[in-house]
Chain A
Amino acid sequence: MGDDIRDQWQNQNGEAFRMSADEIRQRIEEVNANVYGRNRIIHRMGPIMGFLTILLGIWLLIEGRDPLARVGWALLLGSFALGFYRGAAFRRATKTAVQRAEEMGDVGSVEFFKGQLERLRDFHSGARYWPSLLLCVAGVTLAGHQSRNFVIATIALTSVIAPLIFRMTRQYQHQLDEINRLQDL
């Protein structure tokens, strides 16, 4: 039975896709140009946005009359900084498949997949994630503490988002546990 199915599988009809070496070079140049263009935008916009956020934060800290709100803005700034750092670290770690091609042949496919799952899990729940979320929620709550509805809305939103992210992280971890079991057998 198994051999019948394998024969059938290997003898599927259909035209096989292939490219010429010149087509490949051209496409790789296009991919590199796209990646370079995107990185250039990120690298130019990142410092500008950071600078503007710091200016806004300093202005709010100096001009703000409410001490609690000032603490809130300071926490929020810290949360933005941590979030930006997290995003930049994740982007560095997740290059495109074509960019990572040369290392792909040396890594077993299960190990490679496991590495990707670990990165995703850490992005959603790693050591930098929860402090960032905590700073953000505390910052928003304190910055808008004068409005009761605003505080209630912030807490309600957090209590919806946090369990969803926690659930996603558990799904990644569950898959990692299954892979570990598969490798340990």
Chain B
Amino acid sequence: MMTPSSRQDELYEETAARHAPALERLARSYELDPDKRKDLLQEIHLALWRSFAGFAAQCSLRTWVYRVAHNVAASHVMRHRRLASRRMVSLDEIADMPSAVDHESVAGQQNALDRIYILIHRLNPPERQVMLLYLEGLDAASIGEVTGISAGNVAIRIHRIKKILAERFRQGGNDGR
């Protein structure tokens, strides 16, 4: 019979094999500083391993992994008190912002991915989560399962995300290639 610890090891191995690159991208989306990002990533991996002791397969492993990872990352943001000190915006506000603001803030950034990261860092954590999960390829129902927002509501957010990405990257010339 499998011991709880070996089951944790097995689930962790499976997670690392399947989701390690996505977790790396998630950490980068929450933390720009490379040293702090490494700490955050390590914290996510520790939390995941530990969380598997309570994993009863009531949701998919992927949903569980994303929930834990986003919750650890949100705790990281709270701990560093960035919420009160720096104003984060919603998708609606991002959409309403003149593109010139973005062009100023990305001066020197040629890479489309760098521009996406800058966009993500400006978003408040709940909508940042929706955008990240969309970029990771999850559909509205799966994003709803991870975040706890209704699938219909997620679909509205995705529609806005697509619109913002299309507008921003069309303006950026070849960036969207």
Point out residues on A near B: beta carbons under 8 Å: 1-2, 4-6, 8-10, 12, 14, 16-19, 21, 24, 27-28, 31, 97-98, 100-113, 116-117, 120, 168, 171-172, 175, 178-179, 182-183, 185
CB-based contact A105/B64 at 8 Å: yes
Cross-chain contact of B70 among A9, A98, A109 (Cβ < 8 A): A109
Can you show 14 pairs from A to B with CB atoms below 8 A apart?
A1-B176, A12-B25, A14-B24, A19-B45, A21-B12, A98-B47, A101-B51, A101-B68, A102-B50, A106-B67, A109-B126, A112-B71, A182-B126, A183-B148
The digit string for B12-38, where 1 denotes a CB below 8 A from any CB of A, is: 110010001111110100000000001
> Which of A14, A28, A102 has the largest number of chain B CB atoms within 10 A?
A102
Bound complex: CA of A175 vs CA of B55, how far in Å?
30
> Which of A107, A113, A168, A179 has the largest number of chain B CB atoms within 10 A?
A113
User: What's the minimum C-beta distance from B12 to chain A, rounded to whole angstroms?
Assistant: 6
- Of chain A, the residue at the smallest CB distance from B12 is A21
Point out residues on B near A: beta carbons under 8 Å: 8-9, 12-13, 16, 20-25, 27, 38, 41-43, 45-51, 53-55, 59, 64, 66-68, 70-72, 74-76, 78, 83-84, 90, 112-113, 116, 124-127, 129, 134-137, 145-150, 153, 156, 161-162, 165-166, 169-170, 176-177
Cross-chain contact of B54 among A106, A113, A117 (Cβ < 8 A): A106
Main secondary structure, interface of A, reads helix
- Additional A-B contacts beyond A2-B161, A9-B116, A21-B8 (15; CB < 8 A): A1-B169, A5-B116, A17-B20, A19-B42, A19-B45, A24-B49, A98-B43, A100-B71, A101-B46, A104-B47, A106-B54, A108-B67, A110-B126, A110-B147, A110-B149
> Which of A18, A19, A21 has the largest number of chain B CB atoms within 10 A?
A18
Bound complex: CA of A148 vs CA of B17, how far in Å?
69
